[in-house]
Structure formats: structure tokens, C-alpha cells
Amino acid sequence: MPVSATYQPARDHESLGPALFDPVQPARFPRHVLRFRNQRHAERVGLGALTPAEWEAHFARFEPLPGSLQQPLALRYHGYQFRSYNPNLGDGRGFLHAQLRDPVDGRLLDLATKGSGQTPWSRGGDGRLTLKGGVREILATELLEARGVNTSKTFSLFETGEQLIRGDEPSPTRSSVLVRLGHSHIRFGTFERLAWQRDAESAQRLVRFCLERYYPEVPPDERPEAARLLANVALRSADLAASWMAAGFVHGVLNTDNMNIAGESFDYGPWRFLPTFDLGFTAAYFDHSGLYAFGRQPDAVLWNLERLAEALAPLAPEAELAQAIDGYAPAFEAALHRRVLGRLGLRPRGGDEDGLLVRALFTWMHEQQADYDQAFHDWYGGAASAGRAARSPQRELHRGDAFERFRRWLDTYEATHPERLSHTLMQRERPESLLIDEVEALWEPIAAADDWAPLEAKVAAIREAGALMGQGPGA
């Protein structure tokens, strides 16, 4: 196999022992039609030279990558789903296919699947993924990456030639198998399962594994390892929640089995990007109470961290675990200010002024129900963009006391990258966005005529916008 010299295989997960996973066999599919290959991330991890046949062998038939896991592992975990504990979870339609190390930063990476067949944890499901679901995951990960969110990457998508029956979309529908590249397959629910089983020995071993693999930069201190891990997971989770808010993203299903130990966003089902500033906006049609609405995401993440602390209770004093979580709120606030100013292209000051600017922005956007993405596009670079903002499709919203307060704060900030303001993308009337109507419009030609050109063009446009903002592999 023509892997690059930078390819660094790993099989670290096996060291955790069989209590945490089940070896499984991938499904056999009638067809393997490549629909998406993430060449830029393949090149980063040393797999860019794979031929089409080799790519199919490893990411559709799931033949082992050299030096990595020799058999797929369906991981075991529990989770709170809409705050009800479910002990019957685990990888039900996916598995950990391979591990490797990022040759750029040395971090451990996982190649995990979605739609790769039944496992012991399928709970009667068919273990498959719809093609539309795969397309939606491509779009979510591409735009989140372009907006600087710490997200898994859609690595590969094959159409698999089966007809699936689903209640939430016209059936039968086309099938697919997806591979995602991420920094950890270990979820909050992995620890919850061990606590449920009172397996403190395995939990302690898992804590140490996570510190060594995912937080090697964190020096040892006098705290128990579990408290040290929780404190750092809380900091990364705070930044993740802040990045969703700045990006105008609603994950939709923030259950504890959908939160991982590396603070990375993954597993995109009923996600949405905000059309207008609306704290109550929900992504999942079944979220009737708005538990995971846009404005409740930071609290949902904190609630999940508290459940993780409960799972770690046998390993550290309660007071130390509580103190570890106490860092979440100030870290979230600081990250939100930094993330919002970053999206506005403004140089942070690091003091109360940053919070006042962010509050003024959100107050104006809320009162006027401003288009979320348009507002950031119009005012990127601050006062230097006033002329472009005056031509905005929502220029009529640039009025009133709330807007004037925002504008007064805005005028006191400097642009971090004034050279970007002359770029053709910044001269466009509208920014690159991805509301639900466009997602459906991108799917329509695929469903009707197997036309993938609009999707490919959208991905290229998103990547161009991300590159302008310094986001993407190697950025």
C-alpha cells in the first residue's frame, strides 16, 4: 500500500482491554460507489496516495490499515439521552476502524464509521446510514471546520446500493457508509458505563489512558488523576460550546454519549445553523421541550460534565471534582468573547470591554432578529466595513438604540486582518452559509438525477471561505 512516509499507524485502544469493546465484522454491501474523499485530510495523515481501489478496500470493505487495528471494535458505553439514563447503548451502527497519529501535532487520531452494519449494540436496528444522512454530515463538518469549530472530519463516504426504510424521510431511500476522522472515540458515556458496573479499576485505567493520549501537555500535579482529567475536559468543552454559539450552530442532540473526552464535536444528526438570532431555536423535531435549543447548549454541556463528575466519583473526592467543573463557566465566557471577536475579525482586548461588545452585538441581533451569518459578514473588520455594511441586504436593521450601542463599541476595536477586507469573498453581498433550505436544495439534484455537482461546488466554496479565515488542515 503506497502510504506516505508520514503515515503513523497506532492501535492504542486495544491496550484498554476487552471490557470496553467488542470485536465485530463489517457489513458486506452490494455496491461501493465513492461519493466523497477528503483528500486534504488524507494527505495530512499520510493516506493521500491511496489508489481508488485501496481507498475502497479500506473504507468500504474495511480491510485493516497496515500496522493499525486488525479488527473493527464496537465500543461500549452508556448515556443520558434527553436526561434519562440508558444502559443499553454502544456503537450500534459504527465501530472504531483504525487509529493513527497526526504527523503534524502528534495527537492520536481515530477513524470511526457510521452505517457499517450491525453490532451487539444495534438494539434491533439495521446498522445502516442513509445517503442523505451522509451528505448532511459532510456539510456539517465542512462548514464547522471552516468556522474554526473543533470538529470531527468527514473522511470518506461510499454509497452502498441498499434500500433503507426510514420513518423520517421518503422510503425506501439510498444507503451509505461513512468514515469520520476524529481525536477520540471515548465518550462521557464510556465512564458512565464503568461507574454503572462499579468497575473502578477499568475507570482508573481509562482516566490514565485519556490523560496520556489526549492531554499530554498537561503536567502532573497534586490532584487525583480523575480530577485533573475532568478539569481539562471542562476547559475544552467550554471552548467547544462557545465555538458553537459563535458559529450559530445547533447540534441538536447533546446527550452524554454524544460528548467526547477530547472536547470535539461529532455525530451530526438533526443539526441546524441559525437563520436569525433566536436563543430558543431547536434542531431536532423531537426536542419538544427545547432542551437542546441554541441558547441552552452551554448549560447542556455543563449538565453533561456534572454527570461525568458523578461517574468519576469513585476515583476522586467530591470537592476536587466540583472544583474541576467550576472552571467551566469562566472558561466558556472567555472563549465566547474570543470566538465572537474572532468571527468579527477584531483584535480582542481581554478585559470587560470584549464582553460588553459581545453583549451589545447579541442584544441588537436579538431585538432586530438579524440574519446571524449576515451580521458577522457585514461587520467583519469593524468600522472599516461600514461602507460594505451600508449595502447589506439587512441594512434597514442598522438602526435603533441597541444597534447604536453595538456600533459605538465596534468603532473602538481594530481589525486583526484588514487585508482580508479586499478579498472577493468579502465583497460579496451575502456570506457562505448553510440553512436547512439550502441543505435540502443540495440534496434534491442528488435524489432526482444523481447530480453531485452542486454539493461539490458547495464544499469547494465553504473551503475557500475557511481558507480566507485561516481554517483548515495546517491552518
Q: Which amino acids are annotated catalytic?
A: 257
In sequence order, what are the residues at sequence separation of 6 or more whose Cβ sits closer than 8 angstroms to the Cβ of residue 47? 3, 4, 7, 65
Q: Please tell me the distance from the alpha carbon of residue 460 to that of residue 466, in angstroms, as a whole number.
A: 10
Q: Which of 451, 433, 432 is nearest to 442 (CA)?
A: 451
Return the C-alpha cell found at 216. 499530554
- 356-372: b or e for each residue (b if 16 or more CB lie within 10 Å)? ebbebbbbbbeebebbb
Q: Whole-angstrom Cα distance, residue 85 to residue 40?
A: 39
**CB of 189 closer than 8 Å to CB of 77:** yes
The two beta strands, 108-114 and 79-81, are unpaired
Residue 100 dihedral angles phi and psi, to the nearest 5°: -160, 170
Which residues fall within 8 angstroms of residue 46, CB to CB, at 6 or more apart?
Answer: 3, 4, 5, 6, 7, 8, 100, 103
Q: What is the DSSP string of 97-162?
A: EEEEE-TTT--EEEEEEES----TT-TT----EEHHHHHHHHHHHHHHHHTT--B-EEEEEEEEEE
| 8 Å CB contact between 280 and 293 | yes
Say how far apart CA 54 and CA 50 lie, in whole Å. 6
Element (H, E) at 273: strand 272-273
Number of other residues whose CB lies within 10 A of the CB of residue 414? 13
List strand residue ranges (DSSP E) for 330-456, in order.
none
At 45, give phi and psi (nearest 5°).
Answer: -100, 10
End-to-end alpha carbon distance in the chain:
28
Cα 20 from Cα 61, distance rounded (Å): 24
Q: Is 58 exposed, middle or buried (0-12, 13-18, 19+ CB in 10 A)?
A: buried
> DSSP strand E in 16-68: where?
21-23, 33-37
Cell of 156: 470518506
Q: Tell which residue, 77, 38, 124, 382, has the closest CA to residue 257.
A: 77
